Chains A and B, each alone.
Chain A
Amino acid sequence: MSKYLKSLTIALAASCLTAPAMAEKLGLGRAALPAEIAAWDWDINAMGDGLPVGSGDVLDGEEIFAEKCAACHGDFAEGVDNWPKLAGGADTLDHEDPLKTVGSYWPHLTTVYDYIKRSMPYGNAGTLSDDEVYAIVAYILYSNDLIEEDFVLSNENFMEFEMPNAGGFIVDNRAETEYAIWSDEPCMTACKDSAAITMRALVLDVTPELDGNTATTAVSATAAPEPAPVPAAPTIDMELAAAGKKVFKKCKSCHQVGEKAKNRSGPVLNGIVGVAAGSVDGFKYSKALRAAAQDGLMWSEVELAAFLAKPKAYLKGTKMSFAGLRKEADQAAVIEYLKTFE
């Protein structure tokens, strides 16, 4: 920190030249109301300050997790595709490829609570009740084999729990371990005998392709408008479709639509309304959906609405970990929105 402090002093001295002087308060802004502070100030620090009163157990957590988290994080918190793995990785931190999960890496359990309450579920942040968050945190601990399945986590026992990697962190020590040895006058001539190539990026070949003749293709790429819904047929109710665009936010973390859409944890949904189920190229469907497709399932508006209402009840074994759209208006709106993508 000594270097930081030194540059701080220099910066302060220099800033006297240009910084506006201000000794007194300007009387700007207004007092924040207690209700406003309560609405925004609910961070939970590592001491446990801010933990709300409540509790949740592993079994409830499992259910909530399956419904609200598993689409990305997997039923067992093992992570789907490139989405974060939340469990596993114990004792791997000094390995070649450490697996950093809540169980193997996170030093404070408070952080798990704070983050889930604040930012999850992805695309629908801040909608979990305090008890639901306790239950999910309990389930994640359980997935990491850190508690038994009958464990009930609450604000009472929360701070008693010590994370496995709690002692695994040190405060930045670059000043001692690096700055001291990398501050010599650098070598200018005869610094080494040889400089042979030991690794090449082109051999690894993981750089994105810069599309062919860049000049022309890139022009069309930037000139292309946002993949705005194009009416597929004159019968589309654009107002309803616009409402569906909002509902679709719930689907977006797994499904893409539009010109550049790609299969993610769910298939591309362009042109899905009215076509045979299980027909999106390159998507690995569940057994259940493949069977239904063989039996001739067509995604008519009626079938889609039924599926969207309660996916797991409609199609037992579907990969779609989504609780469902209970409101008929939401089902209709999102279907109308999907109709705008050919």
Chain B
Amino acid sequence: MSNHTVKQPSRRAFLGGAAAIGAGVVTSAAAQAQAADPLIVNSQDWAQSFGDGVDAKPYGLPIEYEADVIRRNVEWLTADTVSSINFTPIHALDGTITPQGCAFERHHSGAIDLKKSDYRLMINGLVDTPLVFTYEDLGRFPRENHVYFCECAANTGMEWAGAQLNGAQFTHGMIHNMEYTGVPLRLLLQEAGYDTSGKWVFVEGADASSNGRSIPMEKALDDVLVAFKANGEALRKEHGYPVRLVVPGWEGNMWVKWIRRIEVTNEPVESREETSKYTDTLEDGTSRKWTWAMDAKSVVTSPSPQAPITHGQGPLVITGLAWSGNGAITRVDVSRDGGKTWETARLAKPGEKMALTRFYLDVDWDGSEMLLQSRAMDETGYVQPTKAQLREVRGLNSIYHNNCIQTWWVRENGEAENVEVS
């Protein structure tokens, strides 16, 4: 990927001319215009005539200059797009909330079209009264708001054997973070009169894959939400409209979309999604099952391969995301020399449980190359491991739950590449 492929017109304009781009090490002083800036001294169309009236777009999409901030997939990963995954453009986002329109999708049988009026949720199994709820019924239960990340267990899964995909979007983009509105599953189970001896709930979706998963009862009663809004508006079709399950901190596969049935059981079903998939094979050939929690993890989103440094040396904002399925992020350290020395980054806000945390490290870049890494810590005291540490325990074949420290090699010209270091 060459440098010019990732430039955006807005940034180009900001720099005051394309010539400044790709020049590599340019001091900010040199970037200052010698001649008067025509954008300032010349009259501009937008300053003279009208812009769009209201209602030009009753539901707005990002302006065309942001058209490269989109989900992308990696075609060779899957046989077709109906049972596949794509990636959130985390390299181009800031803050922590993921807009729904660019939040990654993962379907096992395609995103189905299910109207609210056709929606039914059944609760059965070990309950006093098996119940059926409509969408409207769900809206009459007391509801809660929570921000949670949803990470696919396979996020970073292509990096087990080595540095493969060149971009934070592709290495770490199977994640999104939204504010959900929904009903605690606990309330629905209470409404049906669940048998307190039931150890599990089995949850399944209305799509052809149905993606059934078994969830232990203590989690179901703790913080699982039956959600119908995200970031204030209806869920998108691709995220389970009209209703999905939210299983905070646990792997995305359990967040069943288009959820249609919840069964209280004594035994786990041991469905395809919890045996043949989403199990982690260790070096000796045995496999871990029920590895639900997503361990603490972080990544520098900028600079990164898709977000190179274009301004030359001087003030540089290094930023990224950190999260933990076991609680709140308490600290993120950044290394610029491949892990020899570390500096503690600034958290934009104190970490929140099972939600993305934004970190910044504001530096004065001298224009020399960097091996950028970030290392997250959560409230349990857990420290994000290196690739070597993970491999030592698990080998190379786990596929899932790769929460290793990522390295970007940032070169003197500002371009970055996914690498591994000794």
- Mark each residue of chain A from 189 to 225: 1 if its CB lies under 8 Å from any CB of chain B, else 0: 1111111111111101011111111110011011100
Q: Which residues of A contact B9 (CB under 8 A)?
A: 215
Q: By the criterion CB–CB under 8 Å, are A197 and B409 in contact? A: yes
Contact of A25 among B191, B209, B210 (CB under 8 A): B191
Q: By the criterion CB–CB under 8 Å, are A186 and B377 in contact? A: yes
Q: Which residues of B contact A45 (CB under 8 A)?
A: 265, 267-270
Interface set of A (CB-CB < 8 Å, partner B): 3-4, 6-8, 10-12, 15, 18-20, 22, 25-26, 28-32, 36-37, 40-41, 43-47, 49, 72, 81-83, 93-94, 96-98, 100, 102, 105-108, 110-111, 114-115, 118-119, 122-123, 125-126, 168-174, 177-179, 182-184, 186-202, 204, 206-215, 218-219, 221-223, 252-253, 264
Q: Which 4 A-B residue pairings sit nearest by Cβ, starting from the closest?
A: A195-B338, A94-B285, A20-B142, A93-B285
B181 in the interface, Cβ–Cβ < 8 Å? Answer: no
**Count, chain B residues at interface, CB 8 A:** 122
Q: Given A43-B204, A111-B276, does the pair A172, B5 have CB atoms closer than 8 Å?
A: no
Bound-state CA distance A6–B218 (Å) is: 12
Shortest B397–chain A CB gap in Å is: 6
B116 in the interface, Cβ–Cβ < 8 Å? Answer: no
Shortest A48–chain B CB gap in Å is: 10
Q: By the criterion CB–CB under 8 Å, are B6 and A214 in contact? A: yes
Q: Given A19-B144, A199-B419, does the pair A119, B340 have CB atoms closer than 8 Å?
A: no
Known: A28-B141, A171-B290. 9 other contacts (CB 8 A): A7-B353, A25-B193, A26-B191, A32-B122, A106-B276, A108-B270, A169-B287, A195-B422, A200-B419
Shortest A38–chain B CB gap in Å is: 10
Q: By the criterion CB–CB under 8 Å, are A82 and B78 in contact? A: yes
Q: By the criterion CB–CB under 8 Å, are A31 and B129 in contact? A: yes
Q: Given A22-B190, A169-B288, A208-B75, does the pair A98, B271 have CB atoms closer than 8 Å?
A: no
Q: By the criterion CB–CB under 8 Å, are A190 and B340 in contact? A: yes
Bound-state CA distance A199–B334 (Å) is: 21
Q: By the criterion CB–CB under 8 Å, are A3 and B141 in contact? A: no
Q: Which residues of B contact A12 (CB under 8 A)?
A: 222
Which residue of chain A has its CB nearest to the CB of B283?
A: A94
Contact of A188 among B73, B170, B292, B341 (CB under 8 A): B341
Q: Which residues of B contact A212 (CB under 8 A)?
A: 5
Q: By the criterion CB–CB under 8 Å, are B130 and A200 in contact? A: no
Stretch at the interface among B29-37, B50-58, B378-386: B378-386
Q: Which residues of A contact B184 (CB under 8 A)?
A: 19
Contact of A93 among B5, B80, B281, B341 (CB under 8 A): B281
Stretch at the interface among B40-48, B159-167, B357-365: B159-167
B68 in the interface, Cβ–Cβ < 8 Å? Answer: yes
Bound-state CA distance A72–B52 (Å) is: 50
Which residue of chain B has its CB nearest to the CB of A115?
A: B272
Q: Give the residue among A111, A184, A212, A252 with the most B Cβ atoms within 10 A.
A: A111
Q: By the criterion CB–CB under 8 Å, are B124 and A41 in contact? A: yes
Q: Which residues of A contact B7 (CB under 8 A)?
A: 214-215
Q: By the criterion CB–CB under 8 Å, are A32 and B124 in contact? A: yes
Contact of B396 among A28, A96, A179 (CB under 8 A): A96
Contact of B68 among A20, A169, A182, A214 (CB under 8 A): A214
B231 in the interface, Cβ–Cβ < 8 Å? Answer: no
Shortest B208–chain A CB gap in Å is: 4
Q: By the criterion CB–CB under 8 Å, are B162 and A32 in contact? A: no
Q: By the criterion CB–CB under 8 Å, are B124 and A11 in contact? A: no
Q: Which residues of B contact A31 (CB under 8 A)?
A: 129-132
Q: Which residues of A contact B210 (CB under 8 A)?
A: 118-119
Contact of B137 among A29, A32, A219 (CB under 8 A): A29
Bound-state CA distance A200–B305 (Å) is: 12
Task: Enumerate B368-422 residues with CB–CB distance to A below 8 Å.
Answer: 371, 375, 377, 379-385, 389, 393, 396-397, 409, 417-422
Shortest A92–chain B CB gap in Å is: 8
Q: Which residues of A contact B8 (CB under 8 A)?
A: 214-215
Which residue of chain B has its CB nearest to the CB of A197?
A: B419
Contact of B140 among A8, A26, A189 (CB under 8 A): A26
Shortest A15–chain B CB gap in Å is: 8
Q: Give the residue among A29, A47, A110 with the most B Cβ atoms within 10 A.
A: A29
Bound-state CA distance A11–B249 (Å) is: 12
Bound-state CA distance A22–B140 (Å) is: 13
Q: Give the residue among A122, A179, A184, A210 with the most B Cβ atoms within 10 A.
A: A210
Q: By the criterion CB–CB under 8 Å, are A195 and B371 in contact? A: yes
Q: Given A197-B409, A253-B82, does the pair A186, B333 have CB atoms closer than 8 Å?
A: yes
Q: By the criterion CB–CB under 8 Å, are B67 and A215 in contact? A: yes
Bound-state CA distance A93–B341 (Å) is: 38
Q: Which residues of A contact B129 (CB under 8 A)?
A: 31
Q: By the criterion CB–CB under 8 Å, are A32 and B130 in contact? A: yes
Q: By the criterion CB–CB under 8 Å, are A49 and B267 in contact? A: yes
Q: Which residues of B contact A200 (CB under 8 A)?
A: 163, 409, 417-419
Q: Which residues of A contact B284 (CB under 8 A)?
A: 94
Bound-state CA distance A264–B80 (Å) is: 8
Shortest B406–chain A CB gap in Å is: 11
Q: Give the residue among A18, A102, A119 with the most B Cβ atoms within 10 A.
A: A119
Bound-state CA distance A190–B341 (Å) is: 6
Q: Which residues of B contact A125 (CB under 8 A)?
A: 109, 208-209
B19 in the interface, Cβ–Cβ < 8 Å? Answer: no
Bound-state CA distance A118–B4 (Å) is: 48
Q: Which residues of A contact B49 (CB under 8 A)?
A: none
B293 in the interface, Cβ–Cβ < 8 Å? Answer: yes
Shortest B329–chain A CB gap in Å is: 13
Bound-state CA distance A219–B8 (Å) is: 12
B260 in the interface, Cβ–Cβ < 8 Å? Answer: yes
Bound-state CA distance A3–B292 (Å) is: 13
Q: Given A46-B270, A173-B288, A183-B380, does the pair A29, B131 have CB atoms closer than 8 Å?
A: yes
Shortest B157–chain A CB gap in Å is: 14
Shortest A85–chain B CB gap in Å is: 11
Task: Enumerate B251-265 residues with CB–CB distance to A below 8 Å.
Answer: 260-261, 263, 265
Q: Which residues of A contact B122 (CB under 8 A)?
A: 32, 36-37, 40-41
Q: Which residues of B contact A22 (CB under 8 A)?
A: 142, 187, 190
Q: By the criterion CB–CB under 8 Å, are B67 and A221 in contact? A: yes
Q: Which residues of A contact B340 (CB under 8 A)?
A: 190-195
Q: By the criterion CB–CB under 8 Å, are B341 and A189 in contact? A: yes
Q: Which residues of B contact A170 (CB under 8 A)?
A: 286-289
Q: Given A31-B131, A214-B6, A219-B67, does the pair A194, B422 have CB atoms closer than 8 Å?
A: yes
B119 in the interface, Cβ–Cβ < 8 Å? Answer: no
Q: By the criterion CB–CB under 8 Å, are A11 and B5 in contact? A: no
Which residue of chain B has its CB nearest to the CB of A106?
A: B276
Q: By the criterion CB–CB under 8 Å, are A46 and B261 in contact? A: no
Q: Which residues of A contact B281 (CB under 8 A)?
A: 93, 98, 100
